[in-house]
Amino acid sequence: MTPPKQKATKQTKLKILHRRRTNIFGSAHFIKSFDDDFDSTKLAQVPIRIQRLDALWREFEETQEEIELLEDGEEDFAEERQEFQALYYELKTSLQSKIPVQPPVPPPAPVQPISSAIPISSSVRLPEIKLKEFSGNLDDWVSFRDLYVSLIHTSIQLTAVQKMHYLRATLSGEAARIISSLEISANNYLVAWKLLKERFENPNLLVKRHVSALLMISSMKKESAQGLADLADEFDRHVQLLDKLEDYENHWNAFLVER
């Protein structure tokens, strides 16, 4: 028999996870509203919306797996998975179809080595991976870190020297200055990444920053569907980041959970 305290903790976790899953569905439906109301003036937003949709897919899978582990077969989850998968595939296909097809670009000439001290062959080009630049703004750290780790840091196709090149290329401002004294080398890559994490990986401070950002979200000056979608996206961005920063026992959003 499950002790009362353990059962209460399990119910609290499930309540938070169900709330998170509802937020994920809500964010996906806001993207659907964008897709339904799309016109050519919003074309530049399409790649960003696709990136956000892919992030929601990963968050849904993680959240759904946690729910299923806690509820241990108490419910049939096929319906939730099918509903979100259907929504994801429909939106991904529709959004991608809006991006104009670009004509093939002839391959550029081989790049010469920058320096003999950098062990990269002139015949090898780094694959193009687009990352949002990180300047040292704490509000952007979690999203930058997660995307960089998934695309670059954990990649088994890239060498440490190549990862160091990507890291340098994606940093600016204060963040770039932190590793500016390090030469581009395999040995310095992990040193550079450790320096960045020591400077910006401050969960308590990040939680305070995102909670403050939530409380300071500006109200709409003029009612509109786009304005409402942008407001909800901004709120949901901070909610999702805070979910990643806090554990269940001391969950930051207790004031958002219905008692």
Q: What is the pLDDT of residue 195?
A: 92
- Give one DSSP letter per residue of 80-128, joined into a string: HHHHHHHHHHHHHHHHHHTSPPPPPPPPPPPPPPS-TTS---TT-----
Q: What is the pLDDT of residue 210?
A: 59
Model confidence over 143-181: pLDDT tens digits? 888 889 888 988 888 899 999 999 999 999 999 999 999
Check: CB of residue 70 under 8 Å from CB of residue 17.
yes
- Check residue 252 and give its pLDDT: 47
> Residue ranges of the chain with pLDDT lower than 50?
112-123, 248-249, 251-252, 254-259
pTM: 0.40
- Give pLDDT, residue 1: 55
